[in-house]
Amino acid sequence: MSSQAEARPASKDGGPGRAPAGAQGSDARDDAPQGRVRRSVAARVGRPSPGWAVPGVLFFAVFAVAPMVYAVYLSFCGSWGGLGTPHFSGLSNWTRLFQDSDVRQATVITIVLTVLSWAFQTPVALLLGVWAAGREKNRAVLSAVFFIPLVLSTTAIALLFKAILDPNFGLATTIGPWLGFPDGNIIGSSNGALIAVAFVGGWQFIPFHTLIYQGGARQIPEVLYQAASIDGCGRWRQFFHITLPQLRHTITTSSVLIIVGSLTSFETVFLLTQGGPGTSSTTLSYGMYREAFQGFDFGYASALGTALVVVSTLLSLLMVKFSGFGSMRSTREGM
Amino acid sequence: MSQSIKAARLRGSGSRGSGSRSTGRKGLRIKGNPLAGLGAGVWLVIVLVPLYILVTTSLRTQDEALGGNPLSWPKTLTLSNYKLVLDSGFWGFLVNNVLVTAFTVAAVVLLCVPVAYVVVRSAGRWANFAFRIFLLGLAIPAPVTIVPLYVMIGKMGLYDSLPAIILPTAAFAMPVTLLILVGSMRDISEELYEAMALDGAGQARILLQLVVPLSRSGLSTVAVFTALNAWNGFIFPLILTQSDNERVLTTGLYTLSSQYGVNIPATLAAVVLSGIPMFVAYLLARKALISGLMGVGGK
């Protein structure tokens, strides 16, 4: 009802006959006074009151924005174990964060994992997606199989691969030697653990990104390819000069999702390697979980979490900026 | 910049005419591409081998699983692993999972449709500001907020209850939902609104009878994506619940696997069972599921 209160003074100021361009949403409810009749046709359509957005905004504020703000606050509260009230105590967590060698190691591991994930998932998904965009029957059948991992949860997939990579169980001892792990203990070696996490992430998410690329590739106008073949362009040139440039926005969407997802990947690490062996696959978000729920230092964990949000936000903004993602709306409007 | 917009327009007009796409369209371009076929074949093996191991191992006896080659066909097929899982509270996890998913999707749709409508239809400064805040939320990864959420949910007295899972899951689904809904609502033409207004329809009727039906594809994308996230969510249930009664499939699976320890067939039987509901949904509604997920990519 607060919207009603806002609406009244606005329409008094402007008067009933004011230009529709000035109608800023709040003043043109359908039950507003008769002045509306005199407006142009376009203006006769009422505007919804911003009050309609209040429940959604409040909900989001309480359960997503407030936790984020609270995390920032807790990061300035020193070491706090969850009992009693946290007290503001300056920058101690932050100075600790920048001197912590574990954090430095976890940062490197997180970056390596992110790069590995991107380098694995993007080319495979891009090629599979473009391939699956074709409408032949066999492609449709194969795509249906490709998407099966989508029905399994991260938890299920991590547990499945934990079983497969279990050195006592079999397959790891068979394939380990081929991959350079003579004893078959892939997740027990520090490089192997990280590669395993990246691979399992790829196995899980490549189907999803394939779908995104398939959707993108199907939207490329056929005339472009027809023109290119008339000009004598082969398959490679068509791919590099039509398909790739046309998929630019899709590549950005998919890359942002992969990068933000791997920067904060928690579940696969938690279930597959527990950050080990030692700390050799401890990512920042898993390190944060350990600080909070095993070390019970909520203050320090919050500092870690805040740093992670800052980094992932900056990275996605940078990617968006570099790829001209701002014009994304226009791709959507085409639909 | 303008070039990319042009390209996007071109693409847009291409997709508008997509109804008339001939089936031979891509065939003309990639007629029998052996290299791509080979690549797809390799990926097929990578996808299928783990799935084969998953299903066959879940049907093995524990002794056979520990000794034998996981790629061989089981000597004796047994359903005892499945029975063990079903007797360990699996049905309870499933019911909880269904409840969490249903309430999350309902909350997200009910809360986001009016917000998206306001963002699209009222040119006001506040609507735009709110939309921006939501979009910033896209960059907040859920794992990062577990500490404050744990403290807040505890203070609200919701710890170890299903609402403790539903509320943050729904909140974190809102940014993507809004992005998609706003995208599909923007495509509704002004003439339709005018026609509704001429009929004397109020805002509520315009929303329910024009906007909602015409943004069906966006809504189904949102429903599919939110449902999948809620269905598969692990970190919120892990942090915010604790007792057996409140376990969902993912946390139940995790608990069972740590109980079973080296009993790998039992763990994998639990993995299979946890995947069956979604697999059935995939078989029944593959088109909706696929096009729903595709929509997330910003079609």
- What is the reported pLDDT for B4? 41
In Å, how far is A294's CA from the nearest CA of chain B?
A: 12
A74-88, A108-122, A276-290: least confident range? A74-88
Cα nearest neighbour of A51 on chain B: B118
What CATH number is given to the structural domain containing A192? Answer: 1.10.3720.10
User: What is the average pLDDT across A98-124?
Assistant: 93
The predicted structure's pLDDT at residue A200: 94
Residue A69 has pLDDT above 70, yes or no: yes
| pLDDT, mean of residues A62-88 | 86
Q: How far apart, in whole angstroms, are the C-alpha atoms of residue B264 and residue A179?
A: 24
- Which of B237 and A16 is assigned the larger pLDDT? B237
Which tokens hold the place of A198? 């990246």
- Retrieve residue B32's tokens: 């029998």
Q: Taking CB atoms and an 8 Å cutoff, what residues of chain B touch A36?
A: none
End-to-end, the C-alpha distance of chain B in Å comes to 19
Same domain membership, residue A317 and residue A187 = yes
Residue A233's closest chain B neighbor by CA?
A: B29
- Answer with the residue of higher pLDDT: B263 or A83: B263
User: What is the pLDDT confidence band of residue B20, given thresholds at 50, 70 and 90?
Assistant: very low
* Rounded-to-10 torsion of CA A42, A46, A51, A52: -90
Within this chain, do residues A24 and A171 fall inside the same structural domain, yes or no?
no
- Determine the average pLDDT of the residues in A304-328: 75
| pLDDT higher than 50, residue A60 | yes
ipTM of the complex: 0.81
Binning pLDDT at 50, 70 and 90, where does residue B297 land?
low
Reference A332, options B186, B193, B207, B120; nearest CA is B186
pLDDT at B231: 92
**Smallest Cα distance from A88 to chain B, Å:** 15
Confidence band of A141 (pLDDT split at 50, 70, 90): confident
- Report how far apart the first and last C-alpha atoms of chain A are (Å, whole number): 36
Number of structural domains (chain A) is 2
A222 and A301 share a domain? Answer: yes
Angle between helices B264-284 and B34-58 (to 10 degrees): 130
User: Using a CB cutoff of 8 Å and minimum separation of 24, what contacts does B216-219 make?
Assistant: B217/B184, B217/B291, B217/B295, B218/B180, B218/B181, B218/B183, B218/B184, B218/B185, B218/B295, B219/B109, B219/B113, B219/B181, B219/B184
Domain's final residue, options A26, A48, A70: A48
- The verdict on A107 and A26 lying in the same domain is no
**Closest chain A CA to residue B268:** A160
One domain, residues A44 and A106: no
Model pLDDT, residue B24? 41
Indicate whether B196 pLDDT > 90: no
Single out the residue of B119, B175, B120, B4 nearest to residue A328, CA to CA. Answer: B4
* A122 interaction partners in chain B (CB closer than 8 Å): none
A159 and A36 co-located in one domain: no
Residue A27 has pLDDT above 60, yes or no: no
Based on the fold, state whether residues A139 and A216 are members of the same structural domain.
yes
Residue B168: pLDDT over 50: yes
Same domain, A26 and A105: no
Q: Does the residue A241 lie in any domain?
A: yes
C-alpha torsion sign, points B235, B241, B242, B246: negative
pLDDT at A5 over 50: no
Mean pLDDT of A20-26: 40
When scoring B20, B29, B221 by the number of chain A Cβ atoms within 10 A, the one with the most, hence best to mutate, is: B29
**d(C-alpha A247, C-alpha A198), whole Å:** 24
Are residues A151 and A215 located together in one domain of the fold?
yes
pLDDT (mean) for A22-27? 40
Return residues 59-88 of B near A (CB < 8 Å): 65-66, 68-71
Q: What is the pLDDT of residue B17?
A: 37
**Is the confidence at residue B14, as pLDDT, over 90?**
no
Both A170 and A37 in one domain: the answer is no
Average pLDDT (B198-206) is 84
Q: Is the pLDDT of residue A13 over 70?
A: no
Of A74, A153, A222, the CB nearest to B232: A153
Contact flag B171-A144 (C-beta cutoff 8 Å): no
Quote the pLDDT of residue A324: 56
Residue A65: inside a domain, yes or no?
no
**In chain A, which residue's Cα lies nearest the Cα of B275?**
A152
* Interval B238-283: pLDDT, tens: 999 999 899 999 999 999 999 888 888 999 999 999 999 988 888 8
Mean pLDDT for A242-248 is: 88
**pLDDT for residue A147:** 85
**Which residues 230-249 of chain B have a CB within 8 Å of chain A?**
231-232, 234-235, 239, 249
Min Cα distance A49 → chain B (Å) is 7
Q: Do A160 and B268 touch (CB under 8 A)?
A: yes
Count contacts between A and B (CB, < 8 Å).
401
**Both A187 and A258 in a single domain?**
yes
Could you please report the per-residue DSSP string of B68-128?
S-TTSPPSS---HHHHHHHTTTHHHHHHHHHHHHHHHHHHHHHHHHHHHHHHHH---HHHH
Over residues B99-105, the mean pLDDT reads 96
Q: What is the pLDDT of residue A315?
A: 81
pLDDT tier at B164 (50, 70, 90 boundaries)? very high
So what's the pLDDT on residue B74? 82
Of the candidates B168, B56, B9, the residue with the CA atom closest to the CA atom of residue A332: B9
Mean pLDDT, residues A7-12: 38
Mean pLDDT computed over every residue of chain B: 82
Reply yes or no on whether the pLDDT at A36 is more than 50: no
Whether A59 has a pLDDT exceeding 70, the answer reads yes
pLDDT at A260: 82
What's the pLDDT tens digit per position in A177-229?
777 777 777 888 888 899 999 999 999 999 999 988 988 888 888 888 888 88
Mean pLDDT, chain A, as a whole number? 79
| Domains along chain B with CATH numbers | 89-260+277-296 (1.10.3720.10)
Cross-chain Cβ contact B274/A288 below 8 Å: no
State the pLDDT confidence band at B47, using cuts at 50, 70 and 90. Answer: very high
**Residue A12 belongs to what domain range?**
2-48
DSSP A177: G
Q: Indicate whether B183 pLDDT > 50.
A: yes
Does some domain include residue A308? yes
A16-30, B23-37, B77-91, B123-137 — which is least confidently predicted? A16-30
Q: Is the pLDDT of residue A112 over 70?
A: yes
| Same domain for A120 and A42 | no
Q: What is the pLDDT of residue A31?
A: 44
What would the pLDDT profile of B118-140 be if each residue is shown by its tens digit? 888 876 778 888 888 888 887 77
* Contact map slice: B 162-191 vs A, CB within 8 A: 167-168, 170-172, 174, 183-184, 186-187, 190
